[in-house]
Amino acid sequence: MAERPLSPHLSIWKWGPHMLTSILHRVSGDGLATVGLAVFLWWLGALASGPEAYDTFVSVMGSPIGLIVLVGLSWAFFNHLSSGIRHFVLDIGAGYELEVNKTFSIVSVASGIVLTVVFWAMVLLV
């Protein structure tokens, strides 16, 4: 039987910002789909169940752990949005040059963080 060529292993690839952006895009999408859906359904159930259930939801989401979950969800949203815009630009055929791709990848990750900080600054300070 002839030897079939193997796909390159991760140890062969040179890690770059585009790989980090791709991985974070997948992680943030999965987080939004699982954790975001769970929090949303809990909120709807608490809203429909009455004041006691809603007060429990508000107290848990207002606790330090709840705030960490909400900040994480907002980061996942903004990161996924930024990375999705990057993917859209790539889908229309632009941004494939190596330096442009690296720069856009870094901007995508950084903008997710900056937008999260700005969002929570507005929520907490206004």
Q: Which residue intervals of 32-97 are DSSP H helices? A: 37-49, 51-62, 64-91
DSSP label at 94? -
Do 72 and 119 meet the contact criterion of CB atoms below 8 Å apart? no
Exposed/middle/buried for 119, CB within 10 Å: 0-12, 13-18, 19+? middle
Known binding residue 87? Answer is no
Do 105 and 75 meet the contact criterion of CB atoms below 8 Å apart? no
Residues in binding site? 80
Residue ranges for the known binding site for heme are 80
